[in-house]
């Protein structure tokens, strides 16, 4: 299939709502000579197209010459952004504050210093109340500039108050930057390496974390300091596989918003991410009842039009809600219901294709493959595993690539593709060798599959049981339990020597969850 040509301007136009388009037309018509504006005709032409085609556009708008096309597109892009800024300014306090800063600058340049200070004073209070510390610091610095150059006699103690406010705000901003940088770097570390694999990895991550955590009093933190403080601990505990503490800090994270309801409206994406991390931790802990409570909250948020009011939050809640829905079905052992969810999931993935990062897409493919594997549709499982195996950037989530190949081996074995099995074993072995990522679990599975063709019918069940016993021992090792987070190999083995389906075994295990 030919790849559809992408164009930033075309994508921006297609993302506009009806009310945004109406506002854009009013915005550009304000001068009264819209008929003479070529970029309006360009907008109409692109708005009426289903796919981007520059040749077709030039035919529809003959007044635009080919040599002018690039400049007209840039002009249109700029006007759309200006119209959107005006349209959304009333819903975004930070945009209003920056606009006030611009107005204060205009007044200052005209010599109206007291008027400028009055506007800055009002804006400073709003910035403080809404916790826009960076904008507040900018306002304070502007105030300082005016007070230091002109004798306004506004307040006798103004200099002392300004310097104190600047010091306090700068301290908060400094801590927020250090903590948010730490949280972001830990997330990047997880994307690259996944969970810690051994004691050496653990020591490196712990040292990295401790050396970058600022010396702060957790009981005297501002909202944002608190937020990034707990985010850092969530990622740290997630990487070292300390899921009880991961859940504890993600719970503090979401409680921070519950205790500050206005911040949920201001930063819905951060609240949604907190719920997602709680769900992820509870899934790894297999705490079903608490998982369901948090999932219900996330599901309710997905229907809240006051919260899900832009494409960013819409895509974010889709990713996390469907991940949680699939994880819930994994816990319940309902692979059959899971595969029924796949068409809907794939449709949404296609809809948001340009808005979802590749790492998340790979994770969805792995979960889809696992659902089909659990439902004994091995051909489908292999198909989605191949989407991961042949993904061009192997360095992205190496852990997913690793276990996709392991599951692929087992799927080929189950599907009876003996002619392909030897090739898959060699390919996987070479891949893991290059990654230096062979753990006890992988080695045991390799040894088992390599000797499958030499097993007698009478010995197969005993071999499955023996492998199950060896892997059960490894599961209790803190650094060997990592593969079990991705691959429920024990359930599959139990189905082999108990003469039951994976579905039946998984549902029996679900009865023991609390």
Q: Are residues 476 and 382 in the same domain?
A: yes
Q: Are residues 146 and 25 in the same domain?
A: no
Q: Are residues 86 and 101 in the same domain?
A: no
Domain that holds residue 28: 8-90
Burial string for 353-369 (b: 16+ CB within 10 Å, else e) reads: eeebeeebbbbbbbbbb
Tens of pLDDT along 443-502?
787 777 777 667 666 677 787 888 888 888 888 887 777 677 667 788 888 887 787 888
Evaluate whether residue 321 is within a structural domain. no
Q: Select from 90, 112, 142 the last residue of a domain.
A: 90
Q: How far apart are CA 187 and CA 180, in angstroms?
A: 11
- Residue 511's pLDDT is 76
Sign of the alpha-carbon dihedral angle for 228, 248, 291, 184: positive
Evaluate whether residue 266 is within a structural domain. no
Tens of pLDDT along 360-402?
899 899 999 999 998 999 999 999 999 998 887 656 566 788 7
Q: How far apart are CA 34 and CA 76, in angstroms?
A: 13
Q: Are residues 391 and 488 in the same domain?
A: yes
Evaluate whether residue 180 is within a structural domain. no
Q: How far apart are CA 315 and CA 352, in angstroms?
A: 7
Q: Select from 90, 111, 127 the last residue of a domain.
A: 90
Residues of the chain scoring pLDDT < 50: 1-3, 34-35
Burial of 150 (0-12, 13-18, 19+ CB in 10 A): middle
**Count of structural domains, the chain:** 3
Q: How far apart are CA 406 and CA 385, in angstroms?
A: 10
Predicted structure pTM score: 0.76
Evaluate whether residue 394 is within a structural domain. yes
- Residue 297's pLDDT is 95
Q: Are residues 498 and 415 in the same domain?
A: yes
For 393, phi and psi rounded to 5 degrees?
-100, 90
Question: Encoding tokens for residue 232?
Answer: 């850092």
Q: Select from 154, 175, 194 the last residue of a domain.
A: 154
- Residue 280's pLDDT is 94
Q: Are residues 387 and 406 in the same domain?
A: yes
Q: How far apart are CA 424 and CA 418, in angstroms?
A: 10
DSSP letter at 2 equals P
């Amino acid at each position: 299939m030919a790849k559809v040509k992408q164009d930033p301007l075309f994508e921006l136009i297609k993302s506009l709502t009806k009310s945004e388009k109406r506002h854009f037309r009013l915005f550009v018509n304000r001068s009264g000579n819209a008929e003479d504006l070529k970029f309006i005709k360009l907008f109409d032409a692109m708005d009426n197209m289903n796919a981007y085609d520059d040749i077709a556009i030039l035919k529809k708008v003959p007044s635009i010459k080919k040599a002018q096309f690039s400049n007209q597109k840039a002009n249109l892009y700029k006007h759309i952004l200006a119209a959107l800024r005006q349209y959304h300014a009333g819903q975004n306090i930070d945009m209003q504050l920056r606009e006030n800063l611009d107005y204060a600058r205009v007044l200052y340049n005209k010599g109206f210093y007291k008027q400028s200070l009055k506007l800055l004073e009002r804006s400073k209070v709003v910035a403080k109340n809404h916790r826009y510390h960076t904008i507040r610091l900018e306002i304070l610095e502007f105030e300082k500039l005016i007070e230091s150059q002109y004798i306004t006699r506004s307040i006798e103690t103004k200099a002392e108050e300004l310097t104190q406010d600047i010091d306090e705000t700068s301290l908060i901003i400094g801590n927020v930057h250090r903590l948010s940088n730490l949280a972001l770097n830990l997330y990047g570390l997880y994307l690259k390496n996944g969970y810690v694999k051994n004691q050496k990895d653990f020591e490196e991550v712990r040292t990295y974390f401790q050396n970058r955590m600022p010396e702060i009093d957790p009981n005297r933190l501002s909202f944002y300091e608190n937020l990034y403080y707990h985010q850092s601990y969530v990622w740290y505990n997630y990487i070292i596989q300390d899921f009880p503490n991961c859940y504890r800090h993600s719970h503090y994270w979401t409680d921070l918003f519950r205790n500050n309801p206005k911040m949920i409206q201001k930063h819905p994406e951060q609240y949604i991410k907190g719920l997602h991390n709680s769900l992820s931790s509870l899934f790894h802990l297999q705490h079903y009842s608490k998982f369901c409570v948090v999932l219900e909250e996330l599901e309710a948020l997905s229907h809240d039009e006051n919260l899900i009011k832009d494409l960013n939050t819409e895509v974010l809640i889709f990713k996390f809600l469907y991940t949680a829905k699939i994880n819930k079905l994994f816990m319940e052992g309902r692979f059959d219901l899971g595969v029924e969810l796949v068409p809907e999931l794939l449709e949404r993935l296609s809809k948001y294709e340009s808005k979802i990062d590749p790492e998340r897409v790979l994770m969805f493919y792995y979960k889809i493959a696992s659902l089909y594997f659990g439902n004994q549709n091995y051909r489908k499982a292999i198909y989605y595993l191949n989407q991961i195996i042949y993904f061009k950037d192997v360095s992205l989530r190496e852990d997913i690539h690793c276990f996709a190949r392991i599951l692929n081996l087992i799927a080929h074995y189950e599907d009876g593709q003996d002619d392909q099995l030897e090739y898959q074993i060699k390919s996987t072995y070479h891949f893991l060798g290059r990654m230096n990522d062979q753990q006890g679990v992988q080695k045991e599975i390799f040894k088992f599959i390599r000797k499958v063709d030499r097993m007698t019918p009478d010995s197969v069940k005993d071999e499955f049981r023996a492998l199950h016993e060896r892997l059960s021992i490894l599961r209790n090792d803190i650094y060997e339990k990592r593969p079990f987070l991705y691959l429920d190999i024990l359930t599959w083995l139990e189905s082999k020597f108990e003469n039951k389906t994976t579905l039946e075994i998984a549902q029996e295990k679900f009865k023991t969850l609390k």
